[in-house]
Amino acid sequence: MKQPGDSHAQLYWLIAAMVLFWSANYTIGKVALREFPPLLAGGLRIAMAAAFIAPAYLAQKGPASWAKRDIPFLLFLGLIGIMMNQLFFVIGLSLTSVVHSSLIIGMTPIFVLLFAAAIKQERITPRKASGMLIALGGIAILNALPPETGAHGARATVAGDLFVALASIAFALYTVLGKKISLRHSAVTVNTFGYVGGALALAPVILWEGRGFSFARVSLAAWSSVVYMALFSSVISYLIYYHALGKISASRVSAFNYLQPVVATLLAVVALGERVTLPVVAGGAVIFSGVYLTERG
C-alpha cells in the first residue's frame, strides 16, 4: 500500500529531474545556436514539442482531454508562457552567457510573487520588497564591469540579459495564471494547447527563417540539441512542472529555480569553458540573497 510520503518523494524526484533537464538546456542550447539562427531554433523547438506531445493528448480518455470552454484561455496561456518564454530564452541565450542566463532565470520566484500580488494571491511585505530590490542590485552587479569572453565566445551582453529576463517574466505569468486551470485539466491538455498553439503561431516565422537555410549542413550535434530542447526541457519538464503545480504551491515549485544557476554554471564551465568571474560570483550571491529574502518575507 502506497504511503503519502512515497508520493511526495516521487514528486520531488520528478522535480529534481526537471531541474537537471532545464539546467542542461543552457549549455545544449548554446550548441544548437552555433548552427541555427535563434528564431529558427526557437520555432523548431516549439514545433517539435507540439509533435511530441500531440499523441499523448489524443491518447487521453474522458472529459479531461477536452477543454472546450477553456480553449481560448489555454491558447492564451500557451502563447504567453510557452511560446514567448521559449523564444525570449533562445534569443537571450544567443546574446549572453549561460552563467548570466541561469542567474537571471533564478529570479523567477520574484516575478511569480509580483504577478500573484497583482491578482491578490499574495501580499508584498516590506521584507519581500527589500528582497526584490536586493536581487535587482545583483543584476546591476552582473553588468557592472565589461563582459569577458569564454573559450567558445560566451560573451554576456545587457541585451541578452534583458531577453532572458523577459523569458523569466513570461514563465512567471504562466505559473500564476496556470495554477487554477491546472486543477481542472491535466498537464498534457494544458501543454498540448500551448505547444500546438505556439507552433501554429510561429509557422510563418519558421518558414521565413528557414528559406534558404541549409538544413542538410546542420551537424548531428546541433539537431540532437534541438530535439533535446523540444523533448526534455520542453515537453517532459513542462509536464512535470504542471503536474507539480497541481500538488504544491506555485511559489514552492518556482523556488526550485534556486538550483538551476548552480548546476547550469557547472555544466557551462566544463562544456563551454565559460569563466566564473568576481562580478558573477558577487552578483549571483546578491541575487540569491534577495530572492531568498523575498521568499521568506
CB 195 within 8 A of CB 46: yes
**Cα gap 199→46, rounded to integer Å:** 6
Residues counted in the chain? 297
pLDDT score recorded for residue 67:
56
Check residues 241 and 257 and name the one with the higher pLDDT: 241
Burial 71-106 (b: 16+ CB within 10 A, else e): eeebbebbbbbbbbbbbbbbbbbbbbbbbbbbbbbb
Check residues 207 and 248 and name the one with the higher pLDDT: 207
Cell reading at 56: 499523448
pLDDT band at 152 (very low <50, low <70, confident <90, very high): very low
- Residues 52-105: pLDDT tens digits? 999 988 887 655 545 577 888 888 888 888 889 989 999 999 998 888 888 888
- Residues 7-53: pLDDT tens digits? 777 888 888 899 899 999 999 999 999 999 999 999 999 999 999 99
CB 142 within 8 A of CB 280: yes
Least confident range of 125-129, 166-170, 246-250, 286-290 = 246-250
- Residues 115-136: pLDDT tens digits? 888 887 777 888 888 888 888 7
Q: What torsion, rounded to 10 degrees, do the Cα atoms 282, 287, 293, 297 define?
A: 160
Q: Which residue matches cell numbers 548531428?
A: 220
pLDDT score recorded for residue 286:
84
